[in-house]
Structure 1
Amino acid sequence: MSRSTLRDEPIGSTAVHICVDMQGMFLADTPWALPWMERVLPNVVELCRAHPNQLLFTRFIPARRPGAGQGTWKRYYERWATMTLDHLTADQVRLVPELRQFVPPALVVDKPIYSPWLGSDLRARLAARSCDTIIVTGGETDMCVLSTVLGAVDYGLRTIVVRDALCSASDEAHEAMLSLFSNRYGQHIETASTEDILERWAPNALA
C-alpha cells in the first residue's frame, strides 16, 4: 500500500467528497463487477457519514442499447452489449444500498463517459459551494477515478485521493495509479488513508 502524502494543511468547510460510481452494476455479478469493491465500501460509508452535506456522488450511465454512442463509444457498447440500459435493472444503475441513505443531502451527478467534468454541471455545483478541495473515493482507480482526479487537477483544485477507499478490477493497475498519484503527480495530488481524512477533516469544520 502506498504511503500517505497528505500535506500539513487543514481540510476545511470548502472541501467536497466526490464518491465515484459506487453502483450496483459494479458490485453485483456482472462483467463489470469489481472484486474488492465490497471490501472498501465500509471506508466509503464512514467518510460519507462524516460529512453528508459535503458529499457528491457520480454515476456512470451506460448507453441505452448495444452499438449506441459516438465514435469509439459505439464500438465499446457493441463489446459490452449486456451492460446497456436495455439489459440492466434500475437497481444496478443506482448507488449501492449502503450509500443511498446519504441522498439527500448529498448531490448526484450523472455522466455517460469516464469524466464527470464534460457534459455535466459538476464544476458549477462545486463553484457554488466555493469548493477548493476534493476528496476522492470510489472506482475504478485507473478509469473513472483517474478521469475525476485529472479534471480536478486541471481546474486547480486541491485533490486528495483516499487510497483505502478506492477499488479496481486490476490490483496491478490500482497500485500503479497510486504510485503515479503520489510521485509523478505529487505537486497536484495527495494520497491519504480513511483514518487520515477522518482525523484531519473534523466535523466542526462545517460549523
Structure 2
Amino acid sequence: MANAIRLVFFDIGGVVIQADLERYLHVGCALFQATPEDLRREVTARVPDLERGTLDSQLFWKQVSETLWSRGEGRLVSPETCRHLWRDLLASTAQVDLQVMALIGALQKAGIRVGALSNTLHDHVKVLEERGVYRAFDPCALSCRLGCRKPEREIYLKAAELAHMKPRDCLLVDDLNENLEGARRAGMSALLFRGAEPLAQDLLRLDLLR
C-alpha cells in the first residue's frame, strides 16, 4: 500500500483542529429552553444537510426552533439571534494540533501531497480560511462545497478527482471509522487517527515519512 500512496487526505475537525462544538448543547438549551436530548435530536437530524451545503445556518436554527416550539419542547427564537452560533463556537474553541501540522510538513518534504477531506459547513470554512488553516492543503475537498459528505462514496471520488488522481493513489486519515470504511469502499486506503504520535508511527510503517 505504501508505495502506491501519492497523496494523504486529512480530516480537519478532530484531527487537524480540536474544538468543543458540543458546547452548542449548553448554549442552545439556554437559548431555546429545551432539554439536551430534544435539542440534540433536532440538530443531529439536520447536520447532514448543513454539511452538504443545502441548508444554511440561519435556516438550520429556524427549523430547529420551530420544530421544538411546535412540539412543546422549546421556545421560538429569532433566526437572527442564533445565525452565527456555529461560527462563534468554532472561533472561540478551535485549536490547531501543532504536532499534526508538523507531520503534514514532514510528508510534504518527503514528496507526498497533502489534502483536506472534511465534513464541514460554510460558517466553519470561513473561520478556518481566515486563520489560514487550509493553506497547507491542496486540494481542499469540503463537503459543503461539493454537495456530499463522508461516508458517501461520491465525496471520495470527487476528492480524488480534484487532486487529478485515482482513489487508489490516496490515503485518508480520519478519526471516525465510518468515514474510513467509506474511503475504503471508494478505493482509498485509510488510517484511524488516534493522536499525533500513533499517526507518526503509522506513516513510518507505511514508508511515507523519511
Q: TM-score range by the shorter chain?
A: 0.3 to 0.5
Which structure has the bigger radius of gyration?
Answer: 2
Normalised by the length of structure 2, the TM-score is 0.38
More strand by share: 1
